[in-house]
Structure 1
Amino acid sequence: MSDSFCPDCKKHTEVAFDHSAGDMVCTECGLVLEAHSVDETSEWRTFANESNDNDPVRVGGPTNPLLTDGGLSTVIAKPNGAQGDFLSSSLGRWQNRGANPDRSLILAFRTIANMADRLGLVATIKDRANEIYKKVEDLKSIRGRNQDAILAACLYIACRQEDRPRTVKEICSVANGATKKEIGRAKEFIVKQLEVEMGQSMEMGTIHAGDFLRRFCSTLGMNNQAVKAAQEAVQRSEALDIRRSPISIAAAVIYMITQLSDDKKPLKGLEC
């Protein structure tokens, strides 16, 4: 825990870091102070050829069990101070041209990581999305399909399975041009393919209106009193037989609460 100034409490209070959601939360009122925290776990790289500083603590990247060689490969570099002789340059060109069986996977994993970082998602969700993509890629059934939509759909499914769901609209905002319809179709395709492969239904995780409420309220800048009222309304709605999307229920509750308060929000701003 650390201290930070909370705009709702109007004072410096202790804040807690929710590692699973990537949120900085005030321990006094529960306000999300920061919703897109960057994963600060170690990600070392070697600078041996870039400076004379030999730091033994800096090592290569972590191994990846989803890749053929674990993500480790030998790179032929020029000796320090060398201008480049024929042998080393030829070997370097040969290596760059060489067929790397994991090249497409590495690019896909990098794209998933970029999308996850832009949404403030934690490493466990990235890893799950990578696993899903690897399973689908091994089936050789995604050739000719929209790659950006496939990767975005893997991230959407991973969020659901890790109980940190995101809306399709949120995923679409970082999907490099893939539309909501394309991502939806890709999601259905992936689920169908994996269910056929596993011979059983694929667990997606149940979503509830409360899964989205706190994030929606924080994005809209709602005060602590309005957030608590919205949370109570959502809890009471769970006892009712409301056959609507949890996202729609969360948005409807927020709209009603804001209309009853002095800080009214336009309906257009609640599109999810």
Structure 2
Amino acid sequence: MMSDTFCPDCKRNTEVVCDHAAGDTVCSECGLVLEARSIDETSEWRTFADDSGDHDPNRVGGPVNPLLGDAALSTVISRAPNGSNVDSSLTRLQNRGGDPDRALLMAFKAISSMADRLSLVTTIKDRASEIYKRLEDQKCTRGRNLEALVGACIYIACRQEGKARTVKEICSIVVGATKKEIGRAKEFIVKQLEKGDSMHLVTIRPGDYLRRFCSNLGMSNEEVKAVQETVQKAGNFDIRRSPISIAAAIIFMITQISEVKKPLRDISLATTVAEGTIKNAYKDLYPHAAKIIPEWYSKERDLKNLSSPRS
């Protein structure tokens, strides 16, 4: 590798050769070693794929995780190319040894996998991992359903980051835990962590779900804007329904007077809200339709197209 530097022997700026293997920096003009035993801080790439045809280089060592301590430095005994253990006794000894970070590693991998399936950003993954780490530090995870705890951590992290997901959405990517178990785990985590400090959860509002739900339904920008304004105006009325139910019912209301109507079944699938629940919320919103639907959207359309809710 060539670069320019000042050589005290040549008394001028000359090109030098950096020998990374020896750690020497040598002047290309006079051969003077300007620097010896320097540390190469660039990435080191090597291949350890003896038992496969994959020759892509892999970074030596994984990224440092501040939540794991020295867990990333542990040694794992691999298998020989023929499939047999290099030393079965060493493998048994390793598996027998207690690794205090093993549970954390499993939880973090589960969090990363679930978050990827929900297309969540890295900040939410990190927040969920921090929440689980706090639980592990308090020694309160033993004997509890790992999948339910991990799902609840992701749910809480989404709430805290202002990117709320429904419990049904979390449940859809969790294997081995029901919606009720995830809900109970969420309540347990909030109660447990409130002992040390406040567990801040952002209040869920109907507008938190709209963009994602409308995108899932392929609604136009005009329809999305109408839905958003309708949700804001609906907040002035005492509609005692869950935020997600109100959001789904308003989407159903707007699509009824739109050029492209959406079937109730499609709205139910996109919002994870049962059809009966949407109908009940719509029944409460229907009397206020003329007041909550924006005039700019309703004046070119006939509100009579809104179907009367069935009793």
The question of a shared fold, defined as TM-score above 0.5 by the shorter chain, is answered with yes
Superposed CA RMSD in Å reads 3.0
Consecutive unaligned residues in structure 2, runs of 5 or more: 1-42, 274-311
What per-residue deviation string (whole Å, max 9, x for no partner) do you get for residues 97-143 of structure 1?
43221111111111111110000001111111111111112222233
CA distance 1:83–1:212, change in 2 (3 Å): closer
What are the within-5 Å matches in structure 2 for residues 64-213 of structure 1? 64-75=65-76, 90-198=89-197, 201-213=198-210
Q: Secondary structure at the match of 2:195?
A: helix
What per-residue deviation string (whole Å, max 9, x for no partner) do you get for residues 53-102 of structure 1?
795x83421111211315332345689x999997x665455334432211
What per-residue deviation string (whole Å, max 9, x for no partner) do you get for residues 156-189 of structure 1?
0010011111011111101114221111111111
Q: Which of these two proteins has the greater Rg computed from alpha carbons?
A: 2
Matched pairs, number: 224
Which amino acid is 1:63 matched to?
V
Q: Secondary structure at the match of 1:153?
A: helix
State the match for 1:244 in structure 2.
Answer: 241
Percent identity of the aligned residues? 61
State the match for 2:229 in structure 1.
Answer: 232
Which of 1 and 2 has higher RCO (CA within 8 Å, sep 6+)? 1
Asked if 1:257 corresponds to 2:258, the answer is no
Contact 1:45 1:60 in 2 (8 A): no
**Once structures 1 and 2 are overlaid, which stretch shifts more, 92-101 or 107-116?**
92-101
User: Hey, what's the Cα distance between the residues in 1 that align with 2:241 and 2:151?
Assistant: 24
Which amino acid is 2:253 matched to?
M
Contact 1:63 1:72 in 2 (8 A): no
Contact 2:71 2:101 in 1 (8 A): no
User: Hey, what's the Cα distance between the residues in 2 that align with 1:247 and 1:227?
Assistant: 16
What are the within-5 Å matches in structure 2 for residues 4-43 of structure 1? none
CA distance 1:76–1:117, change in 2 (3 Å): same
User: Hey, what's the Cα distance between the residues in 2 that align with 1:204 and 1:180?
Assistant: 19
User: Hey, what's the Cα distance between the residues in 1 that align with 2:229 and 2:44?
Assistant: 48
User: Hey, what's the Cα distance between the residues in 1 that align with 2:174 and 2:82?
Assistant: 43
User: Hey, what's the Cα distance between the residues in 2 that align with 1:256 and 1:83?
Assistant: 61
TM-score by length of 2: 0.63
**Once structures 1 and 2 are overlaid, which stretch shifts more, 240-249 or 162-171?**
240-249
Contact 2:207 2:231 in 1 (8 A): yes
State the match for 2:212 in structure 1.
Answer: 215
User: Hey, what's the Cα distance between the residues in 2 that align with 1:166 and 1:186?
Assistant: 16
TM-score by length of 1: 0.71
Consecutive unaligned residues in structure 1, runs of 5 or more: 1-43
